[in-house]
Chains A and B, each alone.
Chain A
Amino acid sequence: MELILSAGIGALTASGVYLLLRPRTYQVVIGLSLLSYAVNLFIFGMGRLRVNAPPILEPGGVGDLAHHADPIPQALVLTAIVIGFAMTALFLVVLLASRGFTGTDHVDGREQRGD
């Protein structure tokens, strides 16, 4: 499991990073989304991987790490997802505004040679 998930995180990161370096704003926004998936999974993985041990207690119960996955990274990821969503929205609107003002969807607001 660990191996597969790490590979997945790596692939998401690589794709995201590659897109971050691209000249089109749309590429960057997709890249940021991919990167945020990667980061969220990374955070999640820091609590170690557990199958079928959701941190949900029996009513009145007391949980422990032997039977429940670490809830903290999950809570952190939730926050990160929300913030990531907000930032994607923001970046998108800014790139629209930039395109509106400059007429191009290049990240620098004007076409560069060889992009």
Chain B
Amino acid sequence: MTDWLQHLPVLPILVPLAVAAALIPIDERERTLKGSIGFTSTVIVFVVAVILMATAGEETLPGAGVYQLGNWPAPFGIVLVVDRLSALMLCLTSGLALAAQVYSMARWHTAGHHFHSLLQLLVAGVNGAFLTGDLFNLFVFFEVMLAASYGLLLHGSGPLRVKAGLHYIAINLAASSLFLVGVSLIYGATGTLNMADLSTRLAALAPEGRMLVETGAAVLGIAFLVKAGMWPLSFWLPTAYAAATPPVAAIFAVLTKVGIYVIIRLNLLVFGTAAGASAGFGQSWLLAGGMATIAFGAVGVLASQAMGRLAGYSVLVSSGTLLAAIGLGHQEMIAGALFYLVSSTLTIAAFFLLIELVERGRDAAADVLAVTMEAYGDFDENEEEEEVGVAIPGTMAVLGLCFSLCAVLLSGLPPLSGFIAKFTLLHGLFDVPTAGQARTISAADWTYVALVILSGLAAMIAMNRIGIRTFWASIEGTIPRVVVIEITPVVVLLAACVFLSFQAGPAMRYMQATADDLLNPAGYGERVLSAPRAGGQ
């Protein structure tokens, strides 16, 4: 009997990939079937992610959590590395995917073809990016993720999405070129693609080599920052996210985090303390860019008239907060940053799902469905666009409550996880180490504090304004027709935030352990590079 559990790390990529492949030839009219299969797949991925999260970092033996694809050892073959951080991100991704999937099955998956396949492929791509320990493989999974995101963004077609999609794709294609240039430059200078190997080689590198690696990393960084949405590389983002169909926008909330994730990884692993003269490379740029992003995001949040754009700009605020936190370089903040990452992603995803439900009572959905209707020009599918959902009187109250929760979470008001996240970040910033000299609070620190607080205020003002307009001041709108499977994902995501708020202690323990892992790049390298091959060769 083989130990099947050893293959868990590869499942979050394989299961959605295989399911996506199996879904492709199924007739589009069997959407519910496709959705159910996709749902099952995502549930499996979620369960696997939870198991990985529960076991990650428990054993620190060499090779723990390292999966050698093709049984080739690092740094030669591609390895998947499960640590607390990647397991956490897997969990987050599959959670969001579940929400988006369930939500889409009420109506949005009818807006175009192959929605469920694309969603599965997106999950596979994102999970791959989180798991891989190889730079070029990271590129490949970035592309899987991006390609799927293009497909999903364009899902439903229509002028707005296509226009936004064109910009999104053009910019990301250019960024992908940068990615390739960066990766290959690093390979040219070091002769390796494995991140752990890279981190061990960097310190011993001659100055010319180091120069090239840094150049490569800088170019690479730009590619990630485009994805992460750093100002001024992020103007496409609010438009694209606002144009996407709600379930897609919800899952997109995690895409920027992939960029952030990689930056955290590279920053702490490759350019960590062990990197010699290259330690902390690029941090000041992350700081400046992150702060500019918070400011721009907050301004955008204020300036948004539509909720979709507001949510898009909230994504930027979230990214900026994380980038600047990384840029500050305070080790005490990492755990807080991770908590913030999770909380803000869940919140924004819930908000994206909620927006359409709230606006449905007004007018927005009507034209979306119109596009849906005329789309099947050539394919006489005769799909009855039956009116889904019933107008339940309590709907408005539930939507209002959800909206309020989103507002509280986005503004970082107590007692929900948005607040805890901000608190943990600022606590880390102000923290006085138990042993050792207290760090003086620098001007950058103060600016960061001000930006974090003011961005919360901006979110509060904007959400307040838009909420009042929608729920309090609206002229007798029709009560939106909402079905249970649409509101459930919103509620579940928000409940996750609530849960995170009350279980902040255990959550922070996990984050702290994750941060400790990240701050110990040598341990990571040891684990990856000395993992034994299967079959004892």
Contact = CB atoms under 8 A, between A and B. Distances in A.
Whether the complex brings A and B within 8 Å at their CB atoms is answered: yes
Interface of A: 20, 25, 28, 32, 35-36, 39, 42-43, 45-47, 72-73, 76, 79-80, 83, 86-87, 90-91, 94-95, 97-98, 101-102, 107-109
Contacts of A83: 140, 143, 176
Interface of B: 136, 140, 143, 147, 150, 154, 157-159, 162-163, 165-167, 169-170, 173-174, 176-177, 180-181, 183-185, 187-188, 193
A94 B177 contact: no
Contacts of A86: 147
A33 to B, nearest CB: 10
A102 B173 CA distance: 22
Given A86-B147, A101-B158, A36 B184 contact: no
Contacts of A107: 166-167, 170
B20 to A, nearest CB: 16
Contacts of A98: 159, 162-163, 165-166
A16 to B, nearest CB: 8
B177 A36 contact: yes
A46 B159 contact: no
Contacts of A47: 187-188
9 contacts: A20-B170, A32-B170, A43-B183, A76-B184, A83-B176, A87-B143, A90-B150, A91-B173, A107-B170
Given A46-B187, A73-B187, A109-B159, A94 B166 contact: yes
Nearest to A36: B177
Nearest to A46: B188
Contacts of A32: 170, 173-174
A91 B110 CA distance: 24
Contact of A39 (B158, B181, B193): B181
Q: Is the interface of B mostly helix, strand, loop or mixed?
A: helix
B174 A20 contact: yes
A43 B184 CA distance: 5
Most chain-A CB neighbours within 10 Å: which of B159, B162, B187? B162
B124 to A, nearest CB: 15
Contacts of A46: 184-185, 187-188
A43 B136 CA distance: 11
Given A87-B176, A90-B150, A109-B163, A42 B170 contact: no
Given A79-B140, A83-B176, A98-B163, 9 more contacts: A35-B177, A76-B136, A76-B187, A91-B166, A91-B173, A94-B169, A97-B162, A107-B170, A108-B163
B166 A109 contact: yes
Contacts of B165: 94, 98
Main secondary structure of the interface of A (DSSP, over half): helix
Nearest to B165: A94
Nearest to A76: B136
Given A90-B147, A91-B169, A102-B163, A80 B180 contact: yes
A55 to B, nearest CB: 15
A73 B159 contact: no
Contacts of B166: 25, 91, 94-95, 98, 107, 109
A63 B469 CA distance: 71
A98 B162 CA distance: 6
A60 B154 CA distance: 50
A91 B177 contact: no
A94 B151 CA distance: 10
Given A87-B176, A90-B169, A91-B173, A97 B187 contact: no
B157 A97 contact: yes
A102 B140 CA distance: 33
Contact of A91 (B136, B170, B193): B170
A101 B162 CA distance: 8
A43 B187 CA distance: 9
Contacts of B154: 94, 97
A47 B190 CA distance: 11
A82 to B, nearest CB: 10
B170 A28 contact: yes
A101 B173 contact: no
A102 B184 CA distance: 39
A25 B140 CA distance: 26
A72 B187 contact: yes
Contact of A102 (B136, B150, B159): B159
A67 to B, nearest CB: 18
Q: Which of B136, B158, B180 has the most CB of A within 10 A?
A: B180
Given A20-B174, A94-B169, A43 B180 contact: yes
B216 to A, nearest CB: 10
A98 B185 CA distance: 35
Contacts of B150: 90, 94
Contacts of A45: 188
A101 B181 CA distance: 35
Contacts of A36: 177
Contacts of B158: 101
A107 B165 CA distance: 11
Nearest to B180: A39
A43 B159 CA distance: 37
Contacts of A95: 166
Contacts of B183: 43, 76
Contacts of B177: 35-36, 39
Contacts of A79: 136, 140
The 10 closest A-B pairs by CB, nearest first: A46-B188, A101-B159, A43-B184, A109-B163, A46-B184, A97-B162, A98-B162, A39-B180, A39-B177, A98-B166
